Amino acid sequence: MASLFQPDASAFNNLKGSPKTIVITGGSSGIGLATARLLSELNSNHNIAIIDLSAPPKDFTHSPAHLLVHTCNLTSWTAQRAGFEATYKKFGRIDAVFVNAGIAEYKDQFFNDELDTSGKLKEPDRRVLNVDMDAASDTTKLAIHYLRKNKEGGQIVATASLAGYLASAGAPLYSAAKHGMSSSRFLLTMRCDRVECECVFRYCLYGADFEKQVSWA
């Protein structure tokens, strides 16, 4: 069995450079929290903005002067937009955005029938698409808007999944959403001026190309 890859922070020289302002959606747990911890370790002066449904755990310690936590439902455009606005207001710029928030497949929406209060077929639950595709697309839109304010642009890193390429048995909506994000990344790359758009697959996040994906001059 392959061993778990642990990133060696000492090797990420570019990420130790001048402080940057970095937005991480879904930064209170999982991959997002691990990213926030790593960035904090690499440079304690990085400005880190976490936009998530809940705040990060208390053991995540980063200087309050360089941290902004905006709790909201990311599927709300106005709520997520407010998080970016608060970040820009506090730090004056945004250099990179991790489009990371996501959820796993929720129940079987195709073969299990549920009835509504009137006894008719109940509308499917679309939370997976709402979070993994719609909210992620909103994050990308907001990221492009703010990164284009910088003369040098900035970077967008999206947490994708192999399910977006190979599909995952039992997870049709999750696979569809991740495929949508992976596909949109390639199209956005053709259009973005001074904004780099990258997808990092969750099974190889922090792999050998991690620093290249989010390296800053």
Three-state SS at 179:
helix
- The span from the CA of 201 to the CA of 213, in Å, is 12
Contact 135, 74 (CB under 8 A): yes
Question: Which of the following is catalytic: 178, 203, 206, 212?
Answer: 178
- Phi then psi dihedrals of residue 63, to 5 deg: -50, 125
Question: Which of the following is catalytic: 88, 146, 174, 206?
Answer: 174
- 3, 33, 37, 72, 135 from 51: Cα distances, Å: 31, 11, 15, 7, 12
- The span from the CA of 161 to the CA of 187, in Å, is 18
58 part of the active site: no
174 part of the active site: yes
**Which residues carry out catalysis?**
174, 178
